[in-house]
Structure 1
Amino acid sequence: MGKETFLARQPIVDAEHRLFAYELLFRQSMAAVSAQITNQLQAGVEVIGNTLCLGPDWLLHGRLAFINLDEATLMSDFVCLLPPRHVVYEILETVPVTPVLIARIQELRQLGYRFALDDFVCLDEYRPLLPMVDFVKLDVLEQPPEKTVEIIAHIQLNFAGQFIAEKVETREMFELCRNSGIQYFQGYYFARPENLANKAIQPGQLAVLELMNKVRVCEDLGEIEEPLRRNAALTLRLLRYANSAATGLQQQVHTVRQALTQVGLQTLYRWLALLLITANPAPTNALTARTAVTRGRLCELLGQSRLDRGAQDELFITGLFSLAEPLLEIPLAHLLEQLSMPAPIVQALVHQTGPYAPFLKLAEASERSDFGQIARYAGAIDCSPEEVNLAQLQSLAWTEEMTGEAGAAAVDPATPKAGRR
């Protein structure tokens, strides 16, 4: 049997929600629960190997990669395969602090590598490492807030680097950490912004919703062309999209009718869905929008060998709209009232049932590196771990092409960066 390999990439942001770095999490499901040194080394090599395979420049776009290292990988030559400018190696809390470890960190620092202490706790054995690391990561979910504040105050006496709060899941915890002097943040709060359920659908969003409904029920291009022509912003975006490399068209189009004819109604519907979900420019939403696009593409790819083309498109919409509520800041039920969506999409989004639900749950589990759930839902759709991993890599690459500069702005499906690596 092949290796069971999974991928995750979680943003690390600054106090203004701007993307600072990624933590790269490539895992083998068995190694994740094993303490054997051989498996630990294999897991560490998997991280580095997959990063090299993807290409650090393409994968990170100038941001840093935080990568967990166990003792075996840290002592190996594999750590020197990645250029120092790209990475910060996280020393896991399970790595014993020994003279050999200290000497190894000093050696790698001379080569330009930077380090972070992962899940830091105030134990005397870690004190010799504080002057040697650039970052200290604190798990703020596993301890009371006052304990986090106490740790920061305690180690600031010996530490001149920067703090990263992990597992930040609420605005209150984010603000407490920020006010305590923490510079960077990581957690579901940034991937799943708070839901402001009282927000109304904005006029621009309503125009897109109306067009989506027309495209679903109408085959007369004239009925779709007229509302598009009345909306200058949508017309401009559509023409830019139709003439971009993403559509694969061989000739330039100059009118709405030409664009509709060349692109087709099915692609137009997907483009409108992307536009609706990714148009909010807020910094936190930009990260969530990338997750939504990746999730939609992953669901679609997983359905390619199992469902027909129409169902694959619906899987894409299912994954994309699974984060519509925090992105649009309106209740999902309210949004679905405005859209005439097929029953399987509604079942998956609202009730977590129906034929598309396992695909969506598998995509969500892949983002969390929840190996038990990955195995469960991969089995439900008769999918191998290798196929999940390949689809995840492909969906990340596709999202990079569609979103342009990583994390710099919200997705604009009208300006994809085709072929970017």
Structure 2
Amino acid sequence: MKPAQHYLARQPITDDRQQLVGYELLFRNSQDSLHNALGGTLEADTALLTNLLGSVQQTSGLLEDKLVYLNIGEAMLMSEMVELLPANRVRLELSARLAPTRELLGRMHALRQLGYTFSLDHFELSPAIEPFLDQVSAVKLDVQRLAPATLSAAADKLRHYPLLRIAERVEAPSQHRLCLELGLEAFQGYHFARPETLAGQSLPPGLINILRLLSLVRADAPLDDIETVLKTDLPLAVKLLRFVNSAAAGQPVRIQSFSHAVTVLGYRRLYRWLTLLLITSETAARPHSVLLRTATVRARTLENLAHRLGLAQEQRDILFICGLFSLLDTILDVPMQTILQQVALPFEVVATLERRAGRATDLLALVCSLEYADGASATAHLAQLQGLDAQAVNDCQCEAIGWVETLGL
């Protein structure tokens, strides 16, 4: 089995305040939109695990900082290969469909002595799996598969064990509310990326000047016009000066005015900085920190894919902006159309955010399919593009994840 036949996905796990507490790493083959590719034969799991370890060597960001949940099969669990994974950064996830044999429970106990922890997936109320509950640190409840009454009974049963109860495949705000009412402590899914309604909302006042500057820079406006906006927003001007001083470190440049700062930075780099400032603005409420990471990973992954395709720098910048803006409506609780009316964006960006046909739209759809761990969809989108394969896509995404971790979002 070749690693290039599989896609890597990293799905966030959040707490009840939508703050990031961990990730699950998923592998999907080219035909798979539902099941984890790990958990099969030892040979298959070994190939994928080797690919994972290779990605970790390329970028520590893949397992950076937060606990990573990794699904493994019984064959991998019983082998010595699993001990190559860092115990302090990986939680081993087993299916509750496995039989809790004496050998399996003994191996779990031995690995716990080495510092490994476990989570249990596919949980259902059954006396047969109770021996697992004394060995695991977390249990996942599938809200798409379990009826509300069954979900409630399972949540109540697990309350009596010292473990983390995670609701997985939470895809709608209504499901998130139900799980909160049941007292579940953590959530996996993209409910936070799907607002229920944005009608009638307007842009926060603190973002107006950033958007105004983006419009001016995009229109190649005179320096005087840009300086006028900066003079009316002291906090924004101070941030710009700090950034320019950092960017010009080591150069004998003494900034004499706002227009001088813009000249030193250049319009292209100023535009990139403003878009990052927009997406990470304090006005974009902190409960959306997971979305900030997701949007920025999208942007960097798209930029990396454009580089792999040999596209010009201007096209790379356009794709970066596409990714960064693609979740801005959800982050700001403002309709995308309102945002597009407030800032003069390149035609390609507008077309992509409106999901019109084109290469940029195909690339964005490809990246989104990775987030949703939909291997079949990723393959379909990849077929529309030339010059990329699954391994290249994984490499681009891994580099993006590591780069975003360095930003401290």
Same fold (TM over 0.5): yes
Distance in 2 between residues matched to 1:78 and 1:251, nearest whole Å = 54
Sort the Cα spacing of 1:249 and 1:175 in 2 relative to 1 into closer, same or farther, 3 A.
Answer: farther
Identity %: 35
Choose the corresponding residue for 2:293, options 290, 293, 299.
290
Of 332, 349, 356, the match for 1:352:
356
**In structure 1, distance between residues paired with 2:237 and 2:71:** 47
Query: Quick check: 1:15 aligned with 2:19?
Result: no
1:15, 1:387 → 2: CA distance?
35
1:116 to 116, 119, 123: 119
Q: Does 1:343 align with 2:347?
A: yes
Residue 131 to residue 92, structure 1, CA distance change in 2 (3 Å): same
User: Normalising to structure 2: TM-score of the pair?
Assistant: 0.90
Structure 2 residues not aligned, in runs of 5+: none
Match of 2:199 in 1: 197
1:2-33 Cα deviation digits (max 9, x unpaired): 73343222221111222211212245547956
TM-align CA RMSD: 2.4
- Residues 284-311 of structure 1: CA distance to partner in whole angstroms, max 9, x if unpaired? 3111011111111111221123422212
Match of 1:362 in 2: 366
TM-aligned CA deviation for residue 391 of structure 1: 0.8
1:397 and 2:402 equivalent?
A: yes
- Whether 2:55 is the aligned partner of 1:50: answer yes
The equivalent residue for 1:165 is: 167
Distance 2:172 2:204 in 1: 26
Distance 1:170 1:252, change over 3 A: farther
> Residue deviations 1:218-254, cap 9 Å, x none?
3422221221122111111111222235x77735553
Q: Secondary structure at the match of 1:3?
A: helix
Runs of 4+ in 1 over 6 A off after TM superposition: none
* Partner AA of 1:241 in structure 2: F
Quote the residue 1:134 is aligned against.
137
The equivalent residue for 2:239 is 237
Deviation at 1:44, TM superposition (A): 4.0
**Displacement, 1:267?**
1.3
Aligned to 2:18, the other structure's residue is in SS state coil
Aligned-pair CA distance for 1:325: 1.0
Q: 1:207 to 1:400 in 2, by over 3 A?
A: same
Counterparts of 2:320 and 2:381, CA distance in 1: 17
The one-letter amino acid of 2:363's match is F
C-alpha displacement of 1:87:
2.0
**Matched residue type, 2:401:** L
Shift of 1:174: 2.0
Map of 2:176 onto structure 1: 174
1:175 corresponds to which letter in structure 2? R
- What letter is aligned with 2:322? T
> How far apart are 1:43 and its partner, in Å?
2.8
The separation in 2 between residues aligned to 1:72 and 1:30, in whole angstroms, is 23
Distance, in Å, in 2 between the alignment partners of 1:28 and 1:214 is 45
Q: Is the 8 A contact 1:44 1:70 kept in 2?
A: no
Structure 1 stretches of 5 or more lacking a match?
405-410, 412-421
Q: TM-score, normalised by structure 1?
A: 0.87
Native 8 Å contact 2:322 2:349 kept in 1: yes
Give the corresponding residue for 2:43: 38
TM alignment of 1:141-152, pairs within 5 A:
141-152=144-155
SS at match of 2:112: helix
Q: Partner of 1:268 in structure 2?
A: 270
User: How far apart in 1 are the matches of 2:144 and 2:251?
Assistant: 53
Seen in structure 2, the aligned counterparts of structure 1 residues 25 and 349 have a Cα distance that, compared at 3 Å, is same
Deviates more, 1:91-100 or 1:222-231: 91-100
What CA distance in whole angstroms lies between the structure 2 residues aligned with 1:72 and 1:7?
Answer: 21
